[in-house]
Amino acid sequence: MKAYTYHLGTWGETEIPSYTSEDRTYLTSLGYESLPDIEIGGEDDIRITIYPSLSNNGKSFVFFNTSFHWYVILIDDFPSMMQFLREYGPVCSAANTEFQIEELLKIAEKAFHASHGHGYEIACPVCDPNEYRRQLEVRTRRTMPKMPPMPEPEHE
């Protein structure tokens, strides 16, 4: 199975034994912990999962998951790990933050609807009388009949 290597900003490729989801000893057979040390990102989005070396020598096994693919990256020392996280960690953090904000917005919308009886995007005379009047005035202006154009004055 193809894996990528990363050392202080330089990428390479290597081959490692193939992985099967039933093999719970896969990582330990390669010399890495079976439980992750660091996880960055969301459950269903871009995610970096880092497994440290069993010998605590600074090497790391990284799963980089996207929504549709996963990649293995072997990092051989701590400075490279820190550089990798600095360069690629924000991608996962941003995707996870966006997901969490969307979830919070859904909760806020449901709470508003439960307490007000309508969606937040609708201005009503009880919740927001000023905005309700403003929107009513705008609608009234849009539906008013347009005056015919004034005739041009004749110049002699």
User: Which pLDDT tens digit goes with each residue over 94-125?
Assistant: 777 777 888 899 998 898 888 888 887 778 88
Q: Is residue 143 part of a domain?
A: no
What pLDDT is recorded for position 5? 95
Say whether pLDDT at 140 is over 90: no
pTM of the model: 0.61
Q: Is residue 85 part of a domain?
A: yes
Residue 113's nearest CA partner among 101, 132, 127, 131 is 127
Q: Is residue 58 part of a domain?
A: yes
Domain count, the chain: 1
**Mean pLDDT in residue range 7-31:** 86
Q: Is residue 110 part of a domain?
A: no
Q: Is residue 35 part of a domain?
A: yes
Range of the domain at 89: 2-93
Contact criterion met (CB below 8 Å) for 75 and 96: no
Sheet holding 10-15, edge to edge: 10-15, 2-7, 70-75, 60-65, 47-52, 38-41
Say whether pLDDT at 155 is over 60: no
Q: How sure is the predictor about 23, in pLDDT bands with cuts at 50, 70 and 90?
A: low
Q: Is residue 73 part of a domain?
A: yes
Contact criterion met (CB below 8 Å) for 54 and 37: no
Q: Is residue 121 part of a domain?
A: no
